[in-house]
Amino acid sequence: MIYDSEGNPVYYLFLQTNPAFENHINLKNVQGKTIQEIIPYYGRKRLQTYRKIAIHGESVWFEFQSEEFNNFWFDLYAFKIGNNTSRQVTVIFRNITERKRAEEELIKTKKELEKAKKLLEKQAVKDQKNLLDSRELLQTVFDTTSQAIAVFKVIYNANRTIKDFRFLMINKVLREMYKDVNPVGRTYLVITRYGVIMGIFDALKKVMETGVPLDKEFFYDKEGYHHWFRFTARSHGNLLITAIEDISERKAEAQELQETIRFKQQLVRTSPETIIIINLNTFTVRYINKDILPKEGLTKERIQGINPSKVISFIHPWDREKLINFHKALLKSSDDDVHDIEIRVKLSGTYWEWFSVRGKIFHRRDSSWVNEYVLLARNITQQKKVQKDLIKAEKLSIQGEIARTLAHELRNPLASIGMATDLIRKKIDSKKEEITNYLDIQSRSTKTINDMVSGLLDSSNYSPSVLKREDLARIMDEALSNTQDRIYLAGVKVVKKYRTPCFIQADEQKLLIAILNIIVNACEATPPGRGLLEVNIEKSTTDYVLNNKDNGHGLEPEQVDKLFDAFYTNKKTGVGIGLNSVKHILKEHDAKISVSSKLNEGTAFNICFPRHDNV
């Protein structure tokens, strides 16, 4: 103990503690510290107690609740140690909080029991009165229920086997069922004609013999009376209480419901659509009515119960984001909303089939949470092909007419240019190599245009693209080779940044036409003698991206938007069918094309082809 100059205890200093000290009050490393250092707000009352012990040497035992230690209870014994002048006090204590709380709980429980006893005594008086009222109420209920109720007394034979049942009490409903006969006081076998034949009597006997309640349906079809009844019976001492309910209407409704369910099940089985129910609580396919693509492993057995995300690998990479947005739209839709999308599903190799998917909310927990939605999926590959063929036929009918007109109109001036070139060649000196070089270019260009005119005439008789495994880099090299004269005359520098091979599915001749169009456009857009064309092929996870970038005059945003429209052109001598043709060729290759352009800086064509490296 440490005192001030007036002899008052100021604080005490910890000299020694045992290991159990920390377990009881959760104070660590206290040796050499004062209580005020550890607990600044420690109570002065206990300091005074320890002062008396230190001065007078009298030991103290007491129990107390400490505010400083979470209101824990402690059992404490304190005594002085050392000689008469020593001011050291030893404190032996233990945490008795659990015991104290148990005592408090016991006292509380005792008070509650006494209170409950008084309430029970009061309730007993009240219950006695209620019992009298309940008897009257029971009789009222007995007579007002829609079920027919009877109370029987068992009649035994001399050998204690059940002989019959005597009616002790019936309600109004049962009395009306028996019409002019009053069953009370009479026996079941005497009153009821068909109870034995229908098995009702034996069923009632079994209840009394086994004590197991009865709940069974019987069909009564006697005397032109065709009704279903539900019998329930329960034993009560020597009494049998039965209730009879006419369930004919309910049975008819259940049968009608069963027929409806059977009809709907038949519709589901024979539906041309694949019906899928997605449960969003477990995020699994809860139901699917049939296989989607059994040859590819998309069977009913494989899909039902799986996480829908596992099907994503079968979806075309360019349709996956569309499918995710479709899912999000369904989550936000009302019960009446219907959403439709068209996606491609992968078959063997690189063959894809088109599916139409219609979605609708099937079940929701509340207005803000969807439990399930249903999807109707139909294979529309053939339908898409027919639609595509019809559109192509209509477009090609127009384009074919234009192609034939242009071709015939071009052939006359081409013939004149060719003849004039031949005459000039004969009349000039063969040593003039520069002029000869230009004449060679003119001859080759005339032949190229003539070949293109022939191709244009052939194209008026449309034939679909035949896709094969081709090297995009090799086709690009061939396109650059075919346009080398045009590139030379325009003074365009070509920078190639790609390596072979880059395998894709392509119709080589048609794709060559598309790329030639893009290269020619770049040559026409670049400044004479200062043109630059950068050609790059990049490899991504699923695609090869062909990038053709020039340093030409560039385009306005509204020009970019119309660039692939038929008959749109910003050239003085163009007719606007080149890039429209490019668009249709790339569509047949399942390729996506995008254009970025800035005025006075140039234009870039980016074309994404699905990779076909592995076969």
pLDDT digits (tens, 9 = 90+) for 523-555: 888 888 889 999 999 999 889 999 999 999 888
Q: For residue 399, what is the domain's CATH number? A: 1.10.287
The answer to whether residue 133 is domain-embedded is no
d(CA 96, CA 99): 5
**Is residue 111 exposed (0-12), middle (13-18) or buried (19+ Cβ within 10 Å)?**
exposed
Average pLDDT over residues 408-420: 60
pLDDT of 576 reads 47
What is the spatial order of strands in the sheet that 225-236 belongs to?
162-170, 148-156, 239-246, 225-236, 214-222
Question: Which H/E stretch holds residue 314?
Answer: none
d(CA 61, CA 69): 19
Least confident of 116-130, 259-273, 357-371, 433-447: 433-447
CB atoms within 10 A of CB 94: 14
The answer to whether residue 402 is domain-embedded is yes
Taking 60 as the threshold, does the pLDDT of residue 483 lie above it?
yes
pLDDT digits (tens, 9 = 90+) for 351-403: 788 899 999 999 988 888 899 999 999 888 888 887 777 666 666 666 665 66
Taking 70 as the threshold, does the pLDDT of residue 570 lie above it?
no
Q: Quick one: three-class SS letters along 448-490? A: HHHHHHHHHHHHCCCCCCCCEEEEHHHHHHHHHHHCHHHHHHH
Same domain (yes/no): 496, 605: yes
**Is residue 604 exposed (0-12), middle (13-18) or buried (19+ Cβ within 10 Å)?**
middle
The answer to whether residue 104 is domain-embedded is no
The answer to whether residue 305 is domain-embedded is yes
The answer to whether residue 368 is domain-embedded is yes
What is the spatial order of strands in the sheet that 369-379 belongs to?
284-288, 274-279, 369-379, 352-366, 339-346
Question: Which of 439, 460, 481 is the last residue before a domain boundary?
Answer: 460
The answer to whether residue 108 is domain-embedded is no
pLDDT digits (tens, 9 = 90+) for 108-151: 999 989 898 888 888 877 767 766 665 666 666 667 777 889 99
- Six-digit token string for 8: 């008052």
Question: Which of 460, 486, 521 is the last residue before a domain boundary?
Answer: 460
pLDDT of 573 reads 46
Same domain (yes/no): 71, 83: yes
Q: Full-prediction pTM beyond 0.85?
A: no
d(CA 222, CA 247): 16
Q: Which domain holds residue 155?
A: 145-251
Are the C-beta atoms of 171 and 143 separated by less than 8 Å?
yes
If phi > 0 it is left, if psi is from -120 to 50 it is alpha, else beta; for residue 477 that is: alpha
Question: Which of 430, 445, 460 is the last residue before a domain boundary?
Answer: 460
d(CA 515, CA 408): 25
d(CA 185, CA 166): 6
User: Partners of 292 in the beta sheet?
Assistant: none
Question: Which H/E stretch holds residue 179?
Answer: none
Least confident of 213-222, 249-258, 435-444, 529-538: 435-444
Same domain (yes/no): 609, 475: yes
CA-closest candidate to residue 595, choices 551, 568, 559? 559
Q: For residue 246, what is the domain's CATH number? A: 3.30.450.20
d(CA 96, CA 74): 5
Total count of domains within the chain:
5
Same domain (yes/no): 501, 394: no
pLDDT of 568 reads 55
Q: What angle do CA 280, 286, 290 make, to 5 degrees?
A: 135
Where do the DSSP E strands lie in 179-335?
Answer: 214-222, 225-236, 239-246, 274-279, 284-288
The answer to whether residue 429 is domain-embedded is yes
Residue in this structure with the two tokens 């005074």, named with its chain if needed = 48
